[in-house]
């Protein structure tokens, strides 16, 4: 996408995902009674704007013969000849814009906050250097701790037995990432950040299948690189005021995190 559009796309992604926080959108979902955007992603006018942007972007790419990138690839016929519909494509585009922005950003802010609460984390990262084994495990632990997506809702397509309960076809099922990632039957000391936690079968990326997070390797890379650079440049980090979370039951993210640092 054109680099000049990236700030606008970040803004619209925030408005889309954080649609119950007046700091991110004027269209606060739980304070309105209108159904004007009921068929848009997240019932948001930002969804309508991103829909239009996606259509105009691909029209311009087609006119220029631009066949580079995943957006072109996703519109090509599958082996059986089927193609993605226009609405499916626009929903996919909205997901790409929002999902890879908020989640990584909120994971990073949660990791920084953890460093303020557990000062030993900074020392552990510094002692490891750039090639230490801790960098193989730290990104996943930071993401587990952050759990930036609080839950997803799905509709059961068939009956299923789980933990002595029956889920019926058509039932609405909530998948609580934030709860699963604090499950003391799966994680030792789940409310403690352990940068060397291994194995770490957290649920933030899903656990396989068609819904496995498309951007998980990029997310791990972004988290690792940022904390490597941070640990290399500072000798101390402390909280410098009250932190605030996004007003949302869907996004678990810090939107304000005042800190003070001491440079090396």
Instruction: Count CB atoms within 10 A of the CB of residue 255.
Output: 19
pLDDT over 70 for what percent of the chain?
A: 100
Q: What is the pLDDT of residue 139?
A: 98
Model confidence pLDDT, tens digit, residues 38-64: 888 888 899 999 999 999 999 999 999
Query: What domains appear along the chain, each with residue ranges and CATH number?
Result: 3-263 (1.10.630.10)
Tokens 């084994």 belong to residue: 133
Q: What does pLDDT average to over the chain?
A: 93
**What's the whole-number mean pLDDT along residues 238-261?**
95
Q: Please report which confidence band the pLDDT of residue 118 belongs to, taking 50, 70 and 90 as the band edges.
A: very high
pLDDT at position 167, please?
97
How do beta strands 254-256 and 160-162 pair?
A: unpaired
User: What is the per-residue pLDDT across 186-218, written as a single tens digit (0 to 9) for each?
Assistant: 999 999 999 999 999 999 998 878 888 988 999
In this prediction, residue 261 carries a pLDDT of 97
pLDDT per residue as tens digits for the range 5-37:
999 999 999 999 999 999 999 999 888 876 788
What confidence score (pLDDT) does residue 36 get? 81
| Residue-level pLDDT at 12 | 94
Q: What are 216-234's pLDDT values in tens digits?
A: 999 999 999 999 999 999 9
CA distance 71 to 58: 8
Question: pLDDT tens across 130-164, in order?
Answer: 889 999 999 999 999 999 999 999 999 999 999 89
d(CA 180, CA 199): 15
**What is the pLDDT at residue 34?**
66
User: Which long-range contacts link 255-259 to residues 24+ away (Cβ below 8 Å)?
Assistant: 255/18, 255/21, 255/23, 257/109, 257/112, 257/113, 259/112, 259/116
Q: Is the pLDDT of residue 262 over 90?
A: yes
């Amino acid at each position: 996408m054109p680099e000049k559009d990236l700030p606008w796309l970040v803004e619209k992604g925030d408005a889309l995902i954080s649609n119950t926080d007046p700091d991110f959108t004027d269209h606060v979902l739980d304070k309105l009674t209108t159904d004007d955007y009921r068929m848009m992603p997240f019932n948001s006018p930002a969804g309508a704007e991103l829909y239009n942007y996606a259509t105009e972007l691909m029209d311009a790419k087609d006119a220029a013969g631009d066949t580079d990138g995943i957006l072109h690839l996703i519109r090509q016929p599958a082996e059986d000849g089927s193609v993605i519909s226009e609405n499916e494509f626009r929903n996919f585009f909205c997901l790409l814009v929002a999902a890879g922005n908020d989640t990584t950003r909120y994971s990073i802010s949660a990791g920084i906050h953890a460093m303020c609460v557990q000062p030993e984390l900074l020392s552990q990262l510094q002692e490891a250097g750039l090639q230490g084994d801790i960098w193989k495990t730290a990104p996943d632990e930071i993401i587990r701790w952050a759990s930036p997506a609080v839950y997803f809702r799905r509709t059961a397509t068939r009956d299923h037995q789980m933990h002595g309960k029956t889920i019926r076809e058509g039932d609405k099922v909530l998948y609580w990432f934030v709860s699963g990632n604090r499950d003391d039957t799966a994680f030792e000391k789940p409310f403690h950040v352990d940068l060397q936690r291994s194995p770490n079968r957290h649920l933030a990326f899903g656990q396989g299948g068609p819904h496995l997070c498309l951007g998980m390797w990029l997310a791990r890379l972004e988290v690792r690189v940022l904390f490597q650079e941070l640990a290399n440049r500072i000798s101390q980090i402390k909280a410098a005021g009250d932190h605030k979370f996004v007003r949302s039951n869907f996004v678990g993210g810090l939107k304000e995190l005042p800190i003070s640092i001491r440079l090396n």
